[in-house]
């Protein structure tokens, strides 16, 4: 209705302008003036429905104002496995979003976003998940919980992503144990905030880059080698950040921002190199998420500014990346590689 009105008004206005002027310079406008009341005072929209070829019509009442939601929904942390008989009833499109019988590695899945994405993989049919994390206690707890919730075979490897040698052997052990490797989610990472560039400690700078970018590469390399060797391809998902595309405000964090920009460019480079092996590589760039990474006293005051600068007026929930991760891991995204998907409640729009 709106589009039709817009066009009708545009051509009328074009015709009016043509009278008395040279016809060769006639103009058409496709965008209305925002003050035109006919375009902003629609209170109902006619709707035509077709059911088995039969038409019914209705009218949709239009409300022009509504409350803005600022609530963060409660997080359901319990994963529910996909039942085989349910999978058998899925339409082809829905089935593409599932991962029956696949095997995944998720780094940094001892807690937070990594653990939640591991839960999501378990909910869409993955049969084996290897959690890799540097924190023994967290990793054990996460693996225990995930296997207890879903009944799938979960392994925990306490390994630092910076240790390329150990990573190679760990990935080989995953392949030996499960017989295959299809998915990697590279979520391990750290953040340093409120660090002025002019006084940034050199060792801290190097350490962060070593974990966030070199670590992401070493894990991707070990998994890429296994996927290439198998000849079955795979999907690699790097967790970058919106900080790889914009500079955060107000906290100063040059190293983190640089590390995540590097993760995005690494993603594109690997995607280009490994497409020939059927390996897709994409990244997810979250905005501000409500995880332990951000639950530090020095950031409390700044959180209000982050929320204020986010059009959706909230932090991301710890499970807000789950469906995107499933999509990128699955055949639903089979023609998508080298992409950086920003998921930030609109933060980077402003
Ligand atoms: N929380 C956010 O607002 C946010 C925003 C954008 C991007 N990210 C990114 O998402 C990823 C996950 O963040 P999160 O909020 O869940 O953080 P988190 O701190 O809750 O979890 C990160 C996990 O990574 C593990 N880890 C850290 N260093 C490691 C290493 N060297 N080797 C192996 N494991 C290691 C930690 O033990 C931890 O379990 C990180 O890469 C982070 O940079 C987070």
Residues in Cβ contact with 246 at an 8 Å cutoff, skipping those fewer than 6 apart: 347, 348
Ligand 1 near 286 CB (within 6 A) = yes
Query: What rounded mean pLDDT belongs to the chain?
Result: 87
Distances (CA, A) of 107 to 113, 162, 171, 275: 10, 12, 11, 22
Report pLDDT for 41: 59
11 is catalytic: no
Ligand 1 near 318 CB (within 6 A) = no
Ligand 1 nearest-atom number relative to CA 289: 3
User: Tens digits of per-residue pLDDT, 213-244?
Assistant: 999 999 999 999 999 999 999 999 999 999 99
DSSP string, 62-123: --S--PPP-PPPPP-----PPPHHHHHT--HHHHHT--TT-EEEEETTTSHHHHHHHHHHHH
Report pLDDT for 42: 64
Report pLDDT for 65: 54
Report pLDDT for 44: 75
48 is catalytic: no
Ligand 1 pocket mutation, candidates 189, 212, 263, 345, criterion most atoms within 8 A of CB: 189
List the residue whose alpha carbon is closest to atom 23 of ligand 1.
108
pLDDT of residue 247 exceeding 50, the answer is yes
User: Tens digits of per-residue pLDDT, 129-151?
Assistant: 999 999 999 999 999 999 999 99
List the residue whose alpha carbon is closest to atom 25 of ligand 1.
108
Report pLDDT for 202: 98
Instruction: Summarize the confidence of residues 9-15 as an average pLDDT.
Output: 35
What separation in Å is there between the alpha carbon of 108 and the centre of ligand 1? 6
200 is catalytic: no
336 vs 72 pLDDT, higher one: 336
Where does 277-317 have alpha helices with state H?
A: 300-308
Question: Which domains, from first to last, does the chain contain?
Answer: 2-61 (no CATH), 84-349 (3.40.50.720)
User: Tens digits of per-residue pLDDT, 156-196?
Assistant: 999 999 999 999 999 999 999 999 999 999 999 999 999 99
Helices and strands of the chain, counted as H and E runs: 12, 9
Ligand 1 nearest-atom number relative to CA 292: 20
CA–CA separation, 152 and 127 (whole Å): 6
User: Tens digits of per-residue pLDDT, 35-86?
Assistant: 444 444 567 777 777 777 788 888 877 675 544 444 444 445 799 999 999 9
List the residue whose alpha carbon is closest to atom 7 of ligand 1.
241
Ligand 1 nearest-atom number relative to CA 112: 16
List the residue whose alpha carbon is closest to atom 42 of ligand 1.
189
């Amino acid at each position: 209705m709106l589009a039709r009105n817009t066009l009708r008004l545009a051509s009328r206005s074009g015709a009016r302008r043509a009278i008395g002027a040279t016809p060769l310079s006639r103009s058409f406008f496709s965008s209305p003036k925002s003050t035109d009341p006919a375009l902003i005072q629609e209170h109902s929209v006619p709707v035509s429905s077709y059911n088995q070829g039969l038409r019914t019509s209705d009218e949709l009442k239009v409300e022009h104002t509504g409350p803005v939601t600022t609530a963060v929904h409660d997080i359901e942390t319990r994963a529910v496995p996909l039942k085989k008989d349910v999978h058998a009833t899925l339409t082809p499109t829905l089935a593409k979003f599932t991962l029956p019988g696949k095997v995944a590695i998720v780094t940094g899945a001892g807690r937070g976003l990594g653990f939640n994405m591991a839960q999501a993989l378990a909910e869409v049919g993955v049969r084996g998940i290897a959690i890799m994390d540097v924190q023994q206690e967290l990793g054990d707890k996460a693996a225990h919980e995930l296997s207890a919730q879903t009944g799938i075979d979960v392994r925990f490897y306490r390994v630092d992503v910076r240790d390329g040698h150990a990573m190679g052997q760990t990935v080989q052990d995953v392949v030996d144990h499960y017989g295959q490797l299809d998915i990697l989610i590279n979520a391990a990472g750290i953040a340093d905030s409120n660090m002025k560039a002019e006084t940034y400690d050199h060792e801290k700078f190097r350490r962060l880059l070593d974990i966030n970018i070199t670590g992401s590469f070493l894990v991707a390399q070990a998994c890429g080698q296994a996927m290439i060797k198998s000849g079955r391809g795979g999907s690699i998902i790097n967790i970058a950040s919106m900080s790889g595309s914009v500079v955060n405000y107000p906290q100063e964090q040059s190293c983190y921002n640089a590390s995540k920009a590097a993760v995005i460019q690494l993603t594109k480079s690997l995607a280009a190199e490994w497409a020939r092996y059927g390996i897709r590589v994409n990244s997810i760039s979250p905005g501000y998420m409500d995880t332990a990474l951000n639950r530090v006293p020095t950031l409390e005051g700044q959180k209000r500014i982050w929320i204020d600068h986010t059009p959706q007026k909230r932090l991301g929930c710890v499970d807000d990346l789950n469906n995107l991760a499933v999509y990128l891991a699955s055949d639903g995204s089979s023609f998508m590689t080298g992409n950086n998907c920003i998921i930030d409640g609109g933060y980077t729009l402003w």
